[in-house]
């Protein structure tokens, strides 16, 4: 078979069917996006325990949007939207800690559920409220993947939950009393400016990427103190979810290693990957006026969030 034809067939095989199918329920997608905006607005300016509710709502909506594009019909989308609306409603206080597991999900990894409850009851809850909220929803997500297709399908989601539990533990371990709200700054670097296509090793970081990272590290060395640096890798939706999750995590971990090599504190830098689950743009067939990979470019990125004192 012609080599070009083989290459094209392989390329198309990496694209999930949902990327090419017509969207069946744009009203639901729009509702999810509107709620995401509300949750993001609720997060602005919040610290400590106040992060928990909007962060948890946003995690439910990430689940809802992902399953919407997967054309899930098991009821998990409606459940996730309802939970997000409940969390964003005024007066949801103690009930925010409830994390109901729907019919279309199994209760799995009891050890992680127990850990999440212990982390939430800790006197250092305020230092890991966001991660704990995300962990609880991620466990539901993993349970849905297990219910739907078994352990092999659920494993990437479980790994994300394990990583979130580790992040929460580290955040609480290094938790220190705060006399004032910390500076929180966020930068986003285009993934294409850091790594060539499908590359993740430090040696593959582009000259432009190295320059940006070096300038960033030098600026951070001037801060009086650094509480935390979160490095999050993102991909577009092309390719399998498992591959994208692994690629985003490897890239984030290698950026973490690079920053440590620049003299930043290893114990304060946490690297995670989100795969293609948190897109900045959707690029549906109806509104796309350029090739799909080009349209999805903003989704391929690395986001670095810093909290501390300047």
Residue 181 has a pLDDT of 63
Judging by beta carbons within 10 Å of its beta carbon (0-12, 13-18, 19+), is residue 184 exposed, middle or buried? middle
Q: How confident is the model at residue 17 (pLDDT cuts 50, 70, 90)?
A: very low
pTM score > 0.85 for this model? no
Token pair listed for 59: 């995690």
Residue 192 has a pLDDT of 77
More confident residue, 48 or 195: 48
Residue 82 has a pLDDT of 95
CA neighbor of 251 nearest in space, from 307, 303, 216: 303
Q: What is the pLDDT of residues 225-262, one digit of tens each?
A: 888 889 998 888 888 888 888 888 988 888 888 888 88
Q: How confident is the model at residue 101 (pLDDT cuts 50, 70, 90)?
A: very high
How many distinct helices (H) and strands (E) make up the chain? 11, 4
Q: What is the pLDDT of residues 73-89, one digit of tens each?
A: 999 999 999 999 999 98
Rama region for 75: left / alpha / beta (φ>0; ψ in -120 to 50; rest): left
Is residue 237 helix, strand or coil? coil
More confident residue, 233 or 144: 144
Residue 146 has a pLDDT of 96
225-234/183-190 β-pairing = unpaired
Token pair listed for 156: 């990437």
Q: Does 176 have pLDDT greater than 80? A: no
Sign of the dihedral through C-alpha 170, 174, 177, 181 = negative
Q: Does 90 have pLDDT greater than 70? A: no
Q: Does 213 have pLDDT greater than 50? A: yes
How big is the chain by its Cα radius of gyration, in Å?
20
Token pair listed for 194: 């850091």
Mean pLDDT rounded to a whole number for the chain:
84
% of the chain exceeding 70 in pLDDT? 87
Taking residues 289-310, what's their average pLDDT?
84
Token pair listed for 162: 């394990």
Taking residues 208-227, what's their average pLDDT?
86
Q: How confident is the model at residue 309 (pLDDT cuts 50, 70, 90)?
A: confident
Work out the angle between the directed axes of helices 129-149 and 151-173 (0-180°, nearest 10): 170
């Amino acid at each position: 078979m012609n080599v070009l034809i083989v290459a094209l067939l392989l390329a198309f095989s990496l694209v999930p069917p949902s990327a090419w199918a017509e969207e069946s329920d744009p009203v639901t997608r729009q509702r999810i996006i509107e709620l995401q905006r509300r949750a993001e607005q609720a997060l602005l300016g919040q610290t400590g325990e106040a992060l928990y509710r909007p962060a948890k709502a946003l995690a439910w909506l990430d689940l809802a949007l992902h399953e919407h594009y997967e054309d899930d019909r098991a009821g998990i989308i409606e459940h996730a939207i309802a939970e997000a609306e409940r969390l964003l409603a005024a007066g949801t206080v103690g009930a925010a800690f409830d994390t109901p597991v729907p019919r279309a999900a199994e209760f799995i990894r009891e050890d992680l559920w127990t850990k999440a409850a212990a982390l939430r009851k800790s006197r250092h809850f305020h230092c890991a409220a966001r991660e704990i909220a995300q962990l609880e929803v991620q466990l539901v997500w993993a349970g849905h993947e297990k219910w739907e297709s078994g352990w092999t399908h659920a494993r990437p989601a479980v790994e994300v939950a394990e990583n979130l539990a580790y992040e929460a533990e580290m955040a609480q371990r290094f938790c220190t009393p705060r006399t004032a709200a910390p500076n929180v700054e966020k930068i986003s670097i285009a993934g294409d400016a850091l790594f060539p296509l499908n590359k993740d090793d430090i040696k593959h970081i582009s000259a432009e990427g190295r320059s940006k990272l070096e300038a960033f590290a030098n600026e951070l060395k001037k801060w009086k103190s650094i509480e935390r640096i979160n490095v999050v890798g993102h991909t577009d939706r092309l390719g399998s979810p498992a591959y994208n999750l692994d690629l985003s995590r490897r890239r984030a971990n290698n950026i973490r290693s690079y920053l440590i090599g620049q003299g930043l504190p290893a114990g304060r830098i946490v690297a995670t990957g989100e795969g293609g689950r948190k897109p900045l743009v959707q690029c549906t067939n109806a509104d796309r006026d350029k090739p799909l990979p080009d349209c999805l470019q903003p989704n391929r990125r690395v986001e670095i969030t810093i909290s501390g004192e300047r």
